[in-house]
Chains A and B, each alone.
Chain A
């Protein structure tokens, strides 16, 4: 009996020793970060290398062969130009709308004089919660082709002709940009609001004493102090723009007339999975990667994130 107890105490202390090493301050952080390292190696680094290799290959089921820059040569075609143009213009439009408008709304919602501030914050945020696919279904109805569809009814009230929204490039672009603006408005408002709340009130008070009006306060205090948030929102908006796919998918699936809804990600999907040309799909991916990377560098340079302020 005594022996047995002795033995078990020994076992416990041996276990404790082992635990002390694994759970020690030296080893613990590595165990904590190991999920990221593993996931990075398997689901990021390996696929990144393999997509670079695939972009120089013809990938057929069961066999692959190197074709040099053949896939990249194939990029010079009207579909790719259309995808590049659509994605770029879409991104620019979302930047034009989704930075100034939420910024102004956040400033308004930040002032105590506005009744129902919390209601508006939640109301504007709700679209962000909903799936683009689900929302697109409603948008297809609102922007239906019939003259009695809500959007066309509104146009009629304004004395404008009814539109076949999904049939033309301009109206198609409008649909995608409008859907995105509607969906992300509330999120950007929240980002700006959280930034505004970090600005010390005394700054405004002293500016008021110096006789500064609403506009001067906005341009000389709010904007400069919000710069980090603006940069953050700008960065995520550019990403969002270049990875866009669903906004186009809900209106046209993968077959828009004259490629009016084709995006770069949509083009990767189309070539890689529908046409089974994974090599070409990878080449498109690499180009997209380079575009995003270059824009990032330029943007970081211009906004001075490489400087001391960083």
Chain B
């Protein structure tokens, strides 16, 4: 049963891989068939992606920039907030935590119209910042970092204070390294979110040369299903980086989720 399910789960990836080597005329006429037709298969679809005038590489670059900058900033800010909520006793701590939970509980899609107007007045429409800024303090990540930081050893904090470390030194040079597994898990989650996000970037990014991969590829989808040559190979290359990232951080990811994920 496990194996059958694994085959079902992995089947679309296999189909994608197979189709990416076949000419699109074949796909249009006969649909996707799973025969290995060696005489028809070639790298042509991949070559299309890198031709002059193809926007695919531009989209790839845009996706990479937004994902890298967005992930780094959201890890920095969310870990700071989560750490403070876990470690310090300060006036307004509980109120802040309740606000974090409240934001977590409301689908932000509801706010996309006023957010769009706000971005227009900030002149951030059609910029990378327009995609990143409203999403870079992620409540879910804050929550996760807080859960994780609750388990940090307080003795280290006190010892460092006696040594005269500032609170920021303590955070960046002592606590951040201790929270490595949490950073690993959240790095995957946040990178995944930015790499795959669709609705908000669609709202913000207006011109073809600013599109990210999901927007660019979705623009090639038409009711008639043409463009399959670029779509299929382009899709496959879109999946790759995130899978590589996952393989790289996988160990942290699963252990990190176990510690902080679901105790709330």
The B88-127 residues at the A interface (CB cut-off 8 A) are: 88, 90, 93, 96, 99-100, 103, 105-107, 109-118
Decide yes or no: A138 and B111 within 8 Å by CB, A25-B167, A123-B9, A132-B198 being known contacts: no
Q: Which of A7-15, A44-52, A204-212 contacts B (4 or more CB under 8 A)?
A: A44-52
> Is B23 in the interface zone, CB < 8 Å from A?
no
Contact in complex: A272, B113 (CB < 8 Å): yes
> Is A146 in the interface zone, CB < 8 Å from B?
yes
| Contact count band on A | 35 or more
Contact in complex: A194, B257 (CB < 8 Å): yes
Contact in complex: B9, A141 (CB < 8 Å): no
- Provide the residues of chain B in CB contact with A126, threshold 8 Å: 9-10, 13, 243, 246
Max chain A C-beta neighbours (<10 A), residue from B15, B30, B134, B166: B166
Contact in complex: A150, B242 (CB < 8 Å): no
- Provide the residues of chain B in CB contact with A35, threshold 8 Å: 77, 80-81, 137
A115 smallest CB distance to B (angstroms): 9
The A128-156 residues at the B interface (CB cut-off 8 A) are: 128-135, 137-142, 144, 146, 148-150
> Is B210 in the interface zone, CB < 8 Å from A?
no
Contact in complex: A268, B110 (CB < 8 Å): yes
Max chain B C-beta neighbours (<10 A), residue from A44, A250, A269: A44
Decide yes or no: A129 and B243 within 8 Å by CB, A36-B142, A47-B115, A194-B261 being known contacts: yes
Binding site for B on A (CB under 8 A): 19-20, 23-26, 28-30, 32-33, 35-40, 42-44, 46-48, 50-51, 54, 105, 108-109, 114, 119-135, 137-142, 144, 146, 148-150, 182, 185-186, 190-191, 193-195, 197, 228-229, 232, 239, 242-243, 245-246, 249-250, 253, 265, 268-269, 272-273, 278, 281-282, 285-286, 288-289, 292-293, 296
Binding site for A on B (CB under 8 A): 2, 5-6, 8-13, 15-16, 19, 27, 30-34, 77, 80-81, 83-85, 87-88, 90, 93, 96, 99-100, 103, 105-107, 109-118, 133-134, 136-137, 139, 142, 161, 166-169, 171, 192, 195-196, 198-199, 203, 213-214, 217-218, 221, 223, 225, 228, 231-232, 235, 238-239, 242-243, 246, 250, 254, 257-258, 261-264
